Structure 1
Amino acid sequence: MIARVWHGATKPQHADAYESMLKPELLPGLSKIAGYKGSYFLRRDLGQEVEFITMIFWESLDALKAFAGPDYELSIIPEERRQYLSKHDEKAAHYEVVSQASPLAR
């Protein structure tokens, strides 16, 4: 399994609006994509900014590439969300999941 990890940040006054655009699904239709295995959306208040981290899990690197295309490392940020970001990763980082504990309760 592959974890796609991305960081972004907003000004505090934009954090709630940005968060609401990514809930309940990070990207529209993502849960219907073959190879998608789930995601986490994390938020941390740092005072002058609010940091967000997304972690999207894929069955394999091939499944991720089928979704994101050949330049799969590039960030995927819909235009309507970019206006809220004060900074963000231009590329996502990808990790092989080597161990997994029981899923968290929702």
Structure 2
Amino acid sequence: MDSMIMRRWRGAVRATDADAYLAHQSATGVRDYRSTPGNRGVFVLTRAFDDLVEVVTLSLWDSMEDVRRFAGEHPEVAVFYPGDDDLLVEKDVHVDHFEVPEHALDPSLLA
């Protein structure tokens, strides 16, 4: 394996909805990432700004084929779930994908 794929999505919620959104995301998208073959991990990052909390989700994949297994034939389009629109006040509909060179990977992820 020469590289892996990092998938990046971003959204934001009201600070008062942050805990509810993170629980919802864990039960939907994060669960689906982790149950898709080829997924090597999911990281959910948060940071507060003004009265919002930005949420960035990074997922690590063996290949773009594995990303498509999760996201479908248009992996650059974000996957949303029922209930997302109740909590998200900002949401990127585009997802970015980055190649992660093998030398930059933690060897435990390759096992």
CA distance in 2, matches of 1:83, 1:71: 24
Is residue 2:80 matched to residue 1:77?
yes
Is residue 2:23 matched to residue 1:20?
yes
Number of residues paired by the alignment? Answer: 103
Give the CA deviation at 1:66: 2.2
> Could you say which residue in structure 2 is the equivalent of 1:88?
91
Identity within the alignment, %: 27
Match of 1:100 among 80, 102, 105: 105
TM-score (ref. length: structure 2): 0.82
Give the CA deviation at 1:18: 0.5
Match of 2:34 among 31, 34, 40: 31
- Mapped contact 2:71–2:78 kept (Cα < 8 A): no
- Mapped contact 2:8–2:58 kept (Cα < 8 A): yes
Give the CA deviation at 1:47: 2.1
Give the CA deviation at 1:101: 4.0
CA distance in 1, matches of 2:56, 2:28: 14
Bigger drift between 66-75 and 1-10 goes to 66-75
- The letter for the 1-side match of 2:57 is T
Higher helix share: 2
TM-score (ref. length: structure 1): 0.85
Unaligned runs of 5+ in 2: none
Unaligned runs of 5+ in 1: none
Instruction: Encode CA deviations 1:54-98: one digit per residue, 9 max, x unaligned.
Output: 001110011111221111111111021221000111111000012
Give the CA deviation at 1:7: 0.5
CA distance in 2, matches of 1:93, 1:2: 10
Change (3 A) 1:84 1:24: closer
Higher strand share: 2
